[in-house]
Structure 1
Amino acid sequence: MTAVTVDAVEEVGTRTVALELRTPDGFDAEPGQFLLVRATVDGVEETGYYTLSSPDTEGTMEITVEYVPEGTLAPWLAERTPGDEIEIEGPFGDVRYTGDGPAVVLAEGPGIGPAVGIAERARGAGHDATVIFWGEDPPHRDRLDALDADGATVLVVGSLDEAVDTLVGAAEATVYVFGFESFVRDAKTVAEAAGVADVRAESFGPR
C-alpha cells in the first residue's frame, strides 16, 4: 500500500465528490485505470475500487466517489479534508486511454469520472471526443460544459437508443463503457448493434 495525501475534495454532483490526490513518486497511470483504496472505518478494514477521473497523473490525480449514507468506505472518503492521507494500490485495469485517436465514452453514475478524464485527454491531444451519459443531472457538469465548449460532443440521454446515431457516426473512434453491470451489458449491446467493433468496458459490479 502507498499513502497519498488528499489535496482537495469537491462536491461534483448529488452524493458525489471528487478527491484530488497528490501523485506519489514513480506513479503513472492512464485515464480509465483504477485504484484500490483501503481504510479502517469504525474499526473495520474496508476496501474499494475507484477509477481515475483525471486526464493524467502529473502532480495530482483524481477519483470520483459516489456514496450513500448507509455505505461505509465511500461516505468516509467523502468526509476527507485536505491534508488527510488515504492508502492506495495500483493502478489496475487494461481499459485505458493513452491519447491515441478519437474516443467515445458511454457512462452512468460515477462512470462519468473516467468519461470526462478520457475526453479531456483526447481533446488535449487534438482528437475528437464524445461523452454519452445515461441518466439525469450528471456529476462533473462544469467539466462537461467545458468539454462542450472545447468542441467535444456531450449527450445526456434517457435511453441508450438515443446514442445509436452518434455511435454509427463514430466508426473511427474507440468506444469505452463505464458503469454498473446492467448498464455495461446494455451499452455493449447498443454499441455492437451500431457496428462498433472495438468496445472496451469496465464494470463496477452489481448496483
Structure 2
Amino acid sequence: MSGVADGGGATDVSGAAGFASLRITRVVRETADAVSLVLDVPEHCSSEFRYQAGQFLTVRVTLDGRELRRCYSMSSAPVQDELQITVKRDPGGAVSNWINDTAAEGVELHAAPPEGRFVLREASDAADVLVAFAGGSGITPIISLVRTVLATSSRPIRLFYANRARESAIFARVLDGLADAHPDRLVIVHHFDEDGGVVTPSAIEHFIDPVDPVDSADYYICGPAPFMETVEKAVLKSGAPGTRVHLERFSVAQVPLGVTEDSAEPTEEVVIELDRNRTNAAYRAGNTLLQTARMAGLRAPSSCETGSCGTCMARVVEGSARMLNNDALEDDEVEEGWVLTCQSLPASRKVHIIYE
C-alpha cells in the first residue's frame, strides 16, 4: 500500500519495477480477523492483471523502513469482472495485520501481476467432480475455483471446509448462497474444531467416499500445513492419482535441521548469472540459493517464496541443488535442471545457476 500516513509507518513504493498501483474501491469485513479488498486496475495495465481462478497477487509495501512482499490469493472469479483479494490477520504478520487495521477505500496497493499454478485443469468430462479442501484462510483461492466452475461448466463440486470455530469461517454466507443456488451441483461439508477436534484422516476418507470414480476427480487442497498433510495423505490413499492432486501452500517451508549435513562436500561457492552478469557468491550453510543471491546484493526475481509460483526459477548448469518444496515445476523441467531458488539448497562444492 502507499500514500497512507499511519502508525504502521507505510511509505510509497510506486515506481517499483513490475508493480502497478491498484486503488482499493471497496473494503469488506468478512470476519473479525479477515478483510476483502476490491481493487481497481488501471486501464493501461488491465491486460497484465487478467487472472485465472486460484492465482494470487504479490503485494509490495514498506513498513517502518523495511520493504516487504506478501502473496494474497484472489477470492473473486474472472467471470465477476473484478479483482478481489482476501487477507486474514496472522499473529506476528506485519503486512496482513497492517492491511486489516488500515485498509480503506481510495488507498493504493502496489501489486505485481497475477501468478500461480493452483488453477483449474481442463476437465475431460463434464461429470468430472471438483473435490476441494480448505482450511481457514485456505478458502480464498478455493472459492475462486468454485465460483468459476459453477459459472462456466456443469461439473459437480464437493467442498470440505474446516475452521476452528463458526465465527472464523470466511465467506460462510456466500457459500451458503452458492449452495442454495446450485443444490444439485454443490455439496459443502463444514468442520469446526470446537465441535470435534482437528480434522482426522477418517473424516477426509468419509468425505471422499461418495466420489465415483475416485481417479477421475480433481482435488484441490489449501490451508495450514498439518491440515494439508492430513488431507493429501487421505486423498492419495483413496486411490486418487497424484497428477490430479493440487496443493497451494501459504507458509514458507522451513529448512529441516541437519539438511545440509548429508553432502560429503560442503558448498564453498555459488555462481549466479542474472541479467547477463556473473557473480561469484560466498555461501553460508543453510541458506537457499535465493537467500545467497540477495546476500550478494542481487535483485533476483521472487514472489511467493513457498515454492508455488515459479517466479524464482533458475537453471542449474553446474553442480546440484536440493529442493525442499516444489509445487510449481513439472517433472521434465526438473530433469532439465530447473529449480525454485527460494526452496533450493546447494548440494555440491560448487553450484552454478542461471536466471533466464
- Partners of 1:74 and 1:145 lie apart in 2 by 26
- The count of corresponding residues between Structure 1 and Structure 2 is 207
Alignment-derived partner of residue 11 in structure 1: 29
Alignment-derived partner of residue 9 in structure 2: none
- Partners of 2:41 and 2:121 lie apart in 1 by 18
Alignment of 1:49-198 (within 5 A): 49-56=71-78, 59-68=81-90, 70-78=92-100, 79-97=102-120, 100=123, 102-125=129-152, 126-135=154-163, 136-137=165-166, 138-149=169-180, 150-151=182-183, 152-157=186-191, 158=193, 159-160=199-200, 161-170=202-211, 171=214, 172-197=216-241, 198=244
Alignment-derived partner of residue 7 in structure 2: none
- Partners of 2:130 and 2:32 lie apart in 1 by 26
Distance 1:55 1:18, change over 3 A: same
Superposed CA offset, 1:170-206 (max 9, x none): 3232110111222222211111112222110011116
- Partners of 2:91 and 2:233 lie apart in 1 by 33
Task: Look up the SS of the partner of 1:6 in the other structure.
Answer: strand
Query: CA RMSD, aligned part only?
Result: 2.1
> Does the aligned pair in 2 maintain the 1:107–1:177 contact within 8 Å?
yes
> How many percent of aligned residue pairs carry the same amino acid?
22
Distance 1:164 1:21, change over 3 A: same
The structure whose Rg is larger is 2
Distance 1:11 1:111, change over 3 A: same
Superposed CA offset, 1:53-89 (max 9, x none): 1121754211111114643111222221111110111
Task: Look up the SS of the partner of 1:144 in the other structure.
Answer: helix
Q: CA deviation at 1:169?
A: 2.5
Q: Which structure has the highest strand share of the two?
A: 1
Q: Which stretches in structure 2 are left out of the alignment for 5+ residues? A: 1-18, 194-198, 254-356
- Partners of 1:142 and 1:99 lie apart in 2 by 28
Q: Which stretches in structure 1 are left out of the alignment for 5+ residues? A: none
- Partners of 2:208 and 2:226 lie apart in 1 by 19
Alignment-derived partner of residue 202 in structure 1: 248
Q: 2:69 aligns with which of 47, 52, 61?
A: 47
Q: CA deviation at 1:23?
A: 3.4
Superposed CA offset, 1:138-193 (max 9, x none): 11111111122122111112424323233233323211011122222221111111
- Partners of 2:72 and 2:158 lie apart in 1 by 22
